[in-house]
Structure 1
Amino acid sequence: MSTDETVGAGWVDRSAVLKTLLGFVVAIVLVYLIGAVVGWEETIERLRTAEATWVLAGAASALACLVVWGKTWHVVLEAIGIDVPYRRLVVTFLSATFANYVTPMGQAGGEPFIAYILARDTGASYEESLASVVTSDLIRMLPFFTVGGVGLGYLLLTTGRLPGAVRPFALVLMGLAVGLPLLAAFSWRFRHRLREWILAVVSPLARRTDRISIASVRDRIDRLYGSIEIVARSPRALLVAVAYAYVGWILFALPLYFSAVALGTPVSVLLVCFLVPVTVVAGSTPLPGGLAAIEGTLVALLTALTALSTTDALAVTTVYRLVSYWLVVAVGGVATLWVIRRN
């Protein structure tokens, strides 16, 4: 069985769908409990005062972010030599986002599926498609940590000392900002040793089944590395992709700012620079899209770092998640149905 067939079959696996649905049920119950502690009646009253114009601005920003980040992926694909119309690719990217948003561990579930779909959409190999997805993901991660560092610096300058509830998040953010680039550099520097380690792990499986062979695994790894190396040798393409990544990040962060403005409780833009990366980190939980974890974290941080009451913090968080998560899931779900239908 080929890798492409395995990935495609896994996407429609019934047990995976049931686990995802169960995850949503658990997450929604937890979100309800957070609201029950704060007070849903008071929160709903605050939500009724939200200005529709700013809510719509947040929704438009959330969708525009995906359109721009889709361009990041498009640039990487062109560097590899994969020709696919952008209007077609942006639908595929919306589908990829949907896959990530409904998969446990937040942002880490859709890459194999979307590489499989891209390989079927174009003449690219699965390894080339996966290389483009991994590379564009790494590029889009860059603004989260650099801008998050700016937000953390703002907090230190304005408060002098971080509140106790904030310190763990600040430490995790700093650790990821330093650790992930080092890990990526280390993995690339010693990629040949990493390949041999993977082959050593696969070797016992290859001896027990004819579905896996050491030669095919080695060939796939080499093709993956080769595709990434092509992008690395294209500095102009990397620069353009990084520029799109930063513009997309601004659009990704603005919905939180617009949500606060909509309720008449503005939050500093520099504080948003810290809060948004932290919520992404908090979203790395075994629940779809970081549900409940992001809501709880954002309510706690807003009350700790601003003058907002818990009711106002939950109202802002609710508007923010409606426009930045549930709207994207709805649009991405439609895109996924379209992608599956056309394939």
Structure 2
Amino acid sequence: MTGADGTADLGDLFDRQTTAKIAGGFVVAAVLVYLLGAAVGWDQTIARLRNAELRWLGAACLSTLLCLAAWGKAWQIVLRVGGIDVPYRKLVVTYFAATFANYVTPLGQAGGEPFIAYVLSQDTDANYEQSLASVVTADLLNLLPFFNFAAVGLGYLLLRSQLTETAEDLAVGLGVLAVGIPAIVVAGWQFRSVVERAILCVVEPLARRTDRVTVDSIRERIERFYESIARITGSPRALLSATAFAYVGWVFFALPLYFAGLTLDLAVPLLLVFFVVPASTLAGMVPTPGGLAAVEGALTGLVVALSALSAADALAVATIYRLASYWFAIVVGGAAALWVLYRT
């Protein structure tokens, strides 16, 4: 995934081996989705989908666009603080392309961040470490609303005494992430010298076997990465502004589930959406593209457990939601990725 100069090579991100893995992931996910529908009942689910009101589906797709646009703006603010000044009109296309990379790659966050960092380093005067530091910071900011919206939804469920055993387990999972991720980030910053030594210990045996990697070059890149992070975090006003856009993005990220209910004339309370969407996002950590099958299964199970909807109706809602928030984003992001590849 890196070239001779140590930067990510765009062609390697979608080479034959990676493409084969992506295709295999979609095949496995398709089988799992079919099995999910077979267990719930495809006939009832399809019958419900036939009555979909397309205007609400359009609203759900528009919400997805606004979500990505808001998160793209948050990225622009962070990048500007890091010394990378990119016009928003240009950056938002790059962000859509990175979203495509995230959504089609199993465990895609590992592929999306190097992708956008590479493109930014090609589009601007910033080096790869500056770009990657900005990307990581923006991603962390976008995680903050995840926990707050989950807490709002959890509070709604507690007030209604509607927290099932499954929801309790998910609430614990969200709580662990809420504490664990910030703790890891803080530890990685406070003990950066330890992190650097650990990375160099891993790199040193590789450096002995190839001249494409050297310990000194990796050390220099790590130091430049931390310097870029320090520069970004030194502007609290800009970070506050970026965080505000991150929250706006999360509102529009959750709304497609509410609109999915309206599309099928099924009641999905808005406050319930704020719990279900973050909780189902945990399922996206499974090694299928975009968490396919796992997210649909989690959404279906949660909606059934926390509302009066049947399993078939819940699967229909999950299907509409994923159509608007996942497949629509892939189509738009794919077009953006083609443009970015042409541009670079």
**Which shifted more, 269-278 or 92-101?**
269-278
Matches within 5 A, 1:18-57: 18-57=20-59
Write the letter of the residue equivalent to 2:134: S
**Which shifted more, 208-217 or 73-82?**
208-217
SS in structure 1 opposite 2:126? coil
The answer as to 2:5 corresponding to 1:2 is: yes
Match of 1:165 in 2: 166
Write the letter of the residue equivalent to 1:252: F
Q: Deviations over 1:181-219 (max 9, x none)?
A: 111111111112211221122112212221111111111
**Which shifted more, 107-116 or 294-303?**
107-116
What is the Cα deviation at residue 12 of structure 1? 2.9
* Alignment check: 8 A CA contact 1:96 1:110 kept: yes
Match of 1:270 in 2: 271
Identify unmatched segments of 5+ residues in structure 1: none
Q: Deviations over 1:63-93 (max 9, x none)?
A: 1110110000000011011111111100000
What is the Cα deviation at residue 339 of structure 1? 0.4
* Alignment check: 8 A CA contact 2:6 2:213 kept: no
The separation in 1 between residues aligned to 2:59 and 2:288, in whole angstroms, is 28
Match of 1:309 in 2: 310
* Alignment check: 8 A CA contact 2:13 2:111 kept: no
Q: Deviations over 1:260-302 (max 9, x none)?
A: 1221112111111111111111110110000000001111111
The answer as to 2:85 corresponding to 1:83 is: yes
Write the letter of the residue equivalent to 1:216: S
* Alignment check: 8 A CA contact 1:95 1:332 kept: yes
The aligned length equals 341
What is the Cα deviation at residue 55 of structure 1? 1.0
**Which shifted more, 313-322 or 103-112?**
103-112
What is the Cα deviation at residue 109 of structure 1? 2.6
Match of 2:243 in 1: 242
Matches within 5 A, 1:123-134: 123-134=125-136
The separation in 2 between residues aligned to 1:166 and 1:115, in whole angstroms, is 37
The separation in 1 between residues aligned to 2:57 and 2:10, in whole angstroms, is 37
Structure 2-normalised TM-score?
0.97
The separation in 1 between residues aligned to 2:111 and 2:311, in whole angstroms, is 32
Matches within 5 A, 1:1-343: 1-4=4-7, 6-159=8-161, 162-343=163-344
The separation in 2 between residues aligned to 1:217 and 1:28, in whole angstroms, is 40
The separation in 2 between residues aligned to 1:189 and 1:155, in whole angstroms, is 37
The separation in 2 between residues aligned to 1:177 and 1:218, in whole angstroms, is 31
What is the Cα deviation at residue 106 of structure 1? 5.0
The separation in 2 between residues aligned to 1:8 and 1:107, in whole angstroms, is 15
Write the letter of the residue equivalent to 1:232: T
The separation in 1 between residues aligned to 2:239 and 2:31, in whole angstroms, is 43
Point out 4+ residue stretches in structure 1 off by more than 3 angstroms: none
* Alignment check: 8 A CA contact 1:146 1:177 kept: no
**Which shifted more, 72-81 or 262-271?**
262-271
The separation in 2 between residues aligned to 1:212 and 1:40, in whole angstroms, is 53
Structure 1-normalised TM-score?
0.97
The separation in 2 between residues aligned to 1:128 and 1:156, in whole angstroms, is 43
What is the Cα deviation at residue 62 of structure 1? 0.6
**Which shifted more, 226-235 or 199-208?**
199-208
The separation in 1 between residues aligned to 2:201 and 2:33, in whole angstroms, is 44
Identify unmatched segments of 5+ residues in structure 2: none
Q: Deviations over 1:231-253 (max 9, x none)?
A: 11001110000000000000000
Change (3 A) 1:316 1:245: same
The separation in 1 between residues aligned to 2:110 and 2:155, in whole angstroms, is 28
The separation in 1 between residues aligned to 2:44 and 2:156, in whole angstroms, is 32
The separation in 1 between residues aligned to 2:24 and 2:239, in whole angstroms, is 40
Identity level (%): 56
What is the Cα deviation at residue 105 of structure 1? 2.1
**Which shifted more, 133-142 or 205-214?**
205-214
Q: Deviations over 1:39-69 (max 9, x none)?
A: 2121111112122111111010011110110
* Alignment check: 8 A CA contact 1:106 1:285 kept: no
The separation in 2 between residues aligned to 1:153 and 1:184, in whole angstroms, is 27
Write the letter of the residue equivalent to 2:330: V
Change (3 A) 1:107 1:211: closer
C-alpha root-mean-square deviation of aligned residues, in Å? 1.2
What is the Cα deviation at residue 163 of structure 1? 1.2
